[in-house]
């Protein structure tokens, strides 16, 4: 019986469609417990590859025969061998092409909506890592916000829809993933924007992104208005696009709020975080559709795979926006911080241009789940 190959794109569609999938993950237990492929209808069995070197007979009774079975490892090699053993034992089985490395790096573009004077806004869902980035398109021009290091995805997509990338933004200096913003700007001769309060140590030139900046994309006057919103970092900046969408960066998520400690200043920045969420955002229209830079849990995805919800709904449902007592808020935030992202200091320094790392080093630095939110 032949072993089938499944790509990260295939699994992403299964996540979006809430399909069933049984995953045999043959990585070590600590790697599996730290980070795995999530899906609302997915089941998991974790048995390390080294426990299967003598064969798979002892685990056959744990592998369902009536469900699609996928074998997963770090880079695909071990999963191919285990999948072949299961196939030889008479089971229909697939393996994930490229392993968790491919899962971490895959981006799925999802159209979020139309803009009022023509054009559209797209969300790029990094399904395995929880990162969300954006492309605003109007009249042949495109702006990119919070891009990942997989820059070719954006340039290829822009070319496919006939758009020229003219502006690239980062809402803040990222600490959980390496930004591709500067590289895209260099490739396309676009303007690269960064909040100056986050950019005091950067080694490259940039355009300062400040409160009240209005950048036009295309000839149809679709403005990207900057809104200074500190708390996750001291320079964190949100965008109101087309008076309809609020790109909240890592300040506000669908199910949680941003963490203020990735520069080691949680006690200093928690007040800024509250000011942004409870004062600045309260002044905005509740009809704005919130588009965050990350999602935390797979249940945050809408039926079309997008991550988006009205600001008014979040004011009603997001616990982090409904803590009246300031001291209780402070204690909730500083007392519920998850572990720091892997290599977050090296990621920050890479994004500042202070250190240069190759692709494999960057891949290793980013391994693991998204950890940008207060739990």
Q: Which helix (H) or strand (E) holds 22?
A: strand 21-25
Give CA torsion, residues 50, 52, 53, 57, to 10 deg: 170
Is 221 in contact with 138 (CB distance < 8 Å)? no
Dist CA 134 CA 157 (whole Å)? 12
Give Cβ neighbours of residue 325 (< 8 Å, ≥ 6 apart): none
Which of 71, 102, 133 lies at the terminal end of a domain, its last residue?
A: 102
Quote the pLDDT of residue 262. Answer: 57
Is 128 in contact with 177 (CB distance < 8 Å)? no
Which of 87, 102, 117 lies at the terminal end of a domain, its last residue?
A: 102
CATH for 96: 3.40.250.10
| Inside any domain, residue 317 | yes
| Inside any domain, residue 56 | yes
Dist CA 11 CA 17 (whole Å)? 10
| Inside any domain, residue 246 | yes
User: Is residue 56 domain-shared with residue 131, that is, in the same domain?
Assistant: no
**73, 107, 144, 168: which is the annotated catalytic residue?**
73
Quote the pLDDT of residue 368. Answer: 77
Give Cβ neighbours of residue 151 (< 8 Å, ≥ 6 apart): 180, 183, 184, 187
Quote the pLDDT of residue 344. Answer: 82
What the block records as the tokens of 75 is 């880079």
What the block records as the tokens of 22 is 């049984």
Active-site residue, 372 included? no
Quote the pLDDT of residue 333. Answer: 86
Which residue ranges in the chain fall short of pLDDT 50? none
pLDDT in tens, 274-326: 999 999 999 999 999 999 999 999 999 999 999 999 999 999 999 999 999 99
Indicate the pTM of the whole model.
0.94
What the block records as the tokens of 62 is 């744990």
The DSSP 8-state label assigned to residue 27 in this structure reads: S
Q: What residues make up the domain containing 62?
A: 4-102
Q: How many domains does the chain have?
A: 2
Which of 76, 102, 128 lies at the terminal end of a domain, its last residue?
A: 102
User: Is residue 180 domain-shared with residue 54, that is, in the same domain?
Assistant: no
What the block records as the tokens of 144 is 């990119």
Q: Which residue has the tokens 């704005």?
A: 288
User: Is residue 32 domain-shared with residue 134, that is, in the same domain?
Assistant: no
The DSSP 8-state label assigned to residue 339 in this structure reads: P
User: Is residue 91 domain-shared with residue 233, that is, in the same domain?
Assistant: no
- The DSSP secondary structure of 257-316, one letter per residue, reads BB-S-TTS-HHHHHHHHHHIIIIIGGGS-TTSEEEESB-SSGGGS-TTS---EEHHHHHH
The three-class DSSP label of residue 8 is helix
Helix 181-188 crosses helix 151-160 at what angle (to 10 degrees)? 40
User: Is residue 214 domain-shared with residue 161, that is, in the same domain?
Assistant: yes
User: Is residue 349 domain-shared with residue 274, that is, in the same domain?
Assistant: yes
User: Is residue 141 domain-shared with residue 89, that is, in the same domain?
Assistant: no
Quote the pLDDT of residue 266. Answer: 66
Dist CA 47 CA 321 (whole Å)? 40
User: Is residue 194 domain-shared with residue 321, that is, in the same domain?
Assistant: yes
Quote the pLDDT of residue 264. Answer: 60
């Amino acid at each position: 019986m032949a072993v089938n190959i499944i790509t990260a794109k295939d699994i992403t569609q299964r996540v979006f469609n809430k399909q069933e999938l049984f995953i045999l993950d043959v990585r070590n237990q600590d790697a599996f417990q730290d980070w795995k492929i999530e899906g609302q209808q997915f089941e998991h069995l974790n048995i390390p590859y080294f426990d299967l070197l003598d064969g798979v007979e002892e685990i056959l009774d744990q592998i369902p025969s009536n469900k699609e079975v996928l074998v997963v490892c770090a880079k695909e090699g071990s999963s191919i061998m285990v999948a072949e053993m299961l196939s030889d034992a008479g089971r229909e089985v697939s393996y994930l092409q490229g392993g968790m490395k491919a899962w971490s790096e895959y981006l799925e573009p999802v159209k979020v909506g139309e803009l009022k004077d023509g054009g559209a806004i797209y969300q790029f869902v990094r399904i395995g890592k929880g990162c969300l980035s954006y492309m605003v398109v109007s009249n042949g021009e495109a702006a990119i916000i919070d891009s990942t290091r997989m820059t070719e995805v954006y340039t290829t997509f822009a070319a496919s829809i006939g758009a020229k990338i003219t502006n690239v933004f980062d809402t803040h200096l990222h600490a959980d993933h390496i930004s591709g913003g500067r590289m895209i700007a260099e490739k396309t001769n676009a303007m690269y924007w960064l909040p100056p309060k986050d950019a005091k140590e950067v080694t490259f030139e940039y355009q300062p992104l400040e409160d009240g900046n209005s950048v036009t994309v295309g000839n149809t006057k679709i403005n990207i208005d900057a809104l200074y919103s500190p708390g996750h970092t001291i320079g964190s900046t949100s965008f109101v696009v087309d008076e309809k969408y609020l790109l909240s960066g890592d300040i506000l998520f669908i199910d949680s709020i941003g963490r203020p400690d990735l520069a080691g200043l949680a006690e200093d920045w928690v007040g800024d975080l509250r000011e942004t969420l409870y004062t600045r955002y309260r002044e905005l229209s509740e009809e704005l559709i919130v588009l965050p830079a990350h999602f935390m849990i797979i249940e945050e995805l809408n039926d079309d795979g997008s991550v988006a919800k009205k600001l008014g709904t979040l004011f009603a449902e997001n616990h982090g926006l409904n803590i009246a007592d300031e001291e209780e808020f402070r204690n909730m935030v500083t007392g519920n911080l998850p572990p720091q992202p892997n290599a977050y200091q090296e990621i920050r320094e890479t994004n500042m241009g202070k250190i240069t790392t190759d692709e494999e080093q960057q891949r290793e630095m980013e391994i693991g789940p998204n950890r940008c939110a207060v739990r």
